[in-house]
Chain A
Amino acid sequence: MLKILKYSFYDLSRSRWSYVYFVFYLLLGIVLLFLNNNLSNAVITLMNVIILLVPLIGTIFGVMYYYSSKEFTELLLAQPIKRSSIFLGQYLGVAISLSLSLVLGLGIPFVVYGLFESAIIWDFFSLLTTGVFLTFIFTALAFNIALSNENKIKGFSYAILLWLFLAVIYDGLFLLLLMYFQDYPLDKFSLIATMFNPIDLSRILILLQLDIAALLGYTGAVFKQFFGTSLGFFIAMTMLFLWVVLPVARMLYVAKRKDF
């Protein structure tokens, strides 16, 4: 598997898109820090960007990579290599290279700015951690979509729909339900509904880290009470972890039974 990972990574490191993605974060980091001069504002802006952009890039890039490396995959399938190693290697190659673009692209300007001397390092750290989690989650989801759809156009459409659903529509439905059932106690419902969307979960985790949960009113208090405890944090992290593990497991399950 490590050899496949090495070659996928090598392949991607020669692709223009990895650099475009890296340079985008580099510029974003520089602009936010050096024009804004306020670290915590920069972190909040970054959160808003990361929460939407990382899933989008993860899904699109994952689907794109799967389809464009189809020939390579077929070449590998005839070699004495385990199927699961091929797909796991390719998945990790994409997810790690995207994560590196994110971490290096944002990390370099922050380090140059003098992040290590400021108290905000933990906020920044949780921002990057959730960003990496989101990359791994959405790349895995993208591989699932691509594996199940031979037709590229369909695959891309489903990938975009998935992103749209989790990033935008889910929140809309969530809000509608909250309005509709506002006469009932909704604390538990909100907590659970948040758990089932990795984007929401990441947003809440970062917001709580930033200590601006008070701005969210009563809901904020409920969330703070739950996620603020070490148990809540542990559960949230477990959920993010499951969001990675379950799609990867399905990917391997489907790949094992697929004809090429």
Chain B
Amino acid sequence: MVSFQNLDKKFGKNVVLNGLSLTINTGGIIAVLGPNGSGKTTLIKSLLGMVLPNKGSIQIDNQIIKNQWEYRNNIDYLPQIANFPGNLNVNELFTMIKDLRGKPTIDKELIALFKLQPFLKEKLSTLSGGTKQKVNLVLTFMFDSPLVILDEPTSGLDPISMIRLKELIQQEKTKGKTILITTHIMNFVEEVADEIIFLLEGKIYFQGTVSALKTKTNQQNFEYAIATILSENHA
């Protein structure tokens, strides 16, 4: 279980998280939605300890994570912008991260799944955006941790890889993992998410299932439901 209590975060004068409280139960796929700048990435980065909140606390399985690092052994994270050290090749990157974490991995299966075999000897700086994202996905899923955080996992992927990713996410869910996803692709959310969390101006605006959101906004279509929230709050 992950819980956030009264989280505040400012960058200069810009208030990004404003007294956010949230509890996420173990197991299932949770989509974190919200307009640009609503604090999705900041929320995720606070959970990882990369961004330090001004106020409030975060607990994972009742352990406060402030100034801790061991808990990250149980988290797999896919960053939004996949930038890697340019003078390494794909294989060296995998080896390095495996060495740093020292845990058993399932990288072979994942490399086969995303057809990365021909790229293993290539420098990371020469890869296309989509291929980089696949490398990023392998890097994320290879450790088999109970909490998986995906920041914009679909960006740059071709349709086939997208289907594989959806299958992979579903498959990981059946292992009992908690999977947090941020994305702007609403079809993707509607298809995979068990629960959605809607962030607005640094607070939780809505937490529940897709159908609950449709009921709340009186919309049949999920995309329109989201648009309704946005126009009501920004118009």
Contact = CB atoms under 8 A, between A and B. Distances in A.
A260 interface: yes
A80 B70 contact: yes
B50 interface: yes
B52 interface: yes
Contacts of B72: 78-81
Interface stretch (B32-40, B82-90, B180-188): B82-90
Interface string A1-40: 0011001000100110000000000000000000000000
Contacts of A79: 72, 97, 100-101
| Listed residue (A257, A258, A259, A260) with the most chain B CB atoms within 10 angstroms of its CB | A259
Interface in A57-106: 69, 71-72, 74-83
Contacts of B79: 74-75, 78
Chain A contact patch, size range = 20 to 34
If over half of B's interface residues share one DSSP class (helix, strand or loop), that class is named, otherwise mixed; here it is mixed
A77 B50 contact: yes
Interface residues of B, number: 25
A69 B70 CA distance: 23
Contacts of A77: 48-50
B198 interface: no
A195 B91 CA distance: 49
27 contacts: A3-B100, A4-B100, A11-B85, A11-B87, A11-B88, A14-B87, A15-B87, A71-B84, A71-B85, A72-B84, A72-B85, A74-B79, A74-B83, A75-B85, A76-B100, A77-B48, A77-B50, A78-B79, A79-B101, A80-B72, A81-B69, A82-B69, A83-B69, A258-B52, A259-B45, A259-B51, A260-B51
Q: Which 9 A-B pairs have the closest CB atoms?
A: A71-B83, A80-B72, A80-B73, A72-B85, A78-B77, A259-B51, A260-B50, A82-B69, A77-B50
Given A81-B69, A81-B100, A259-B52, 20 more contacts: A7-B96, A11-B88, A14-B87, A69-B85, A71-B83, A71-B84, A72-B84, A75-B97, A78-B72, A78-B77, A79-B100, A80-B69, A80-B71, A80-B72, A80-B73, A83-B69, A258-B52, A259-B50, A259-B51, A260-B50
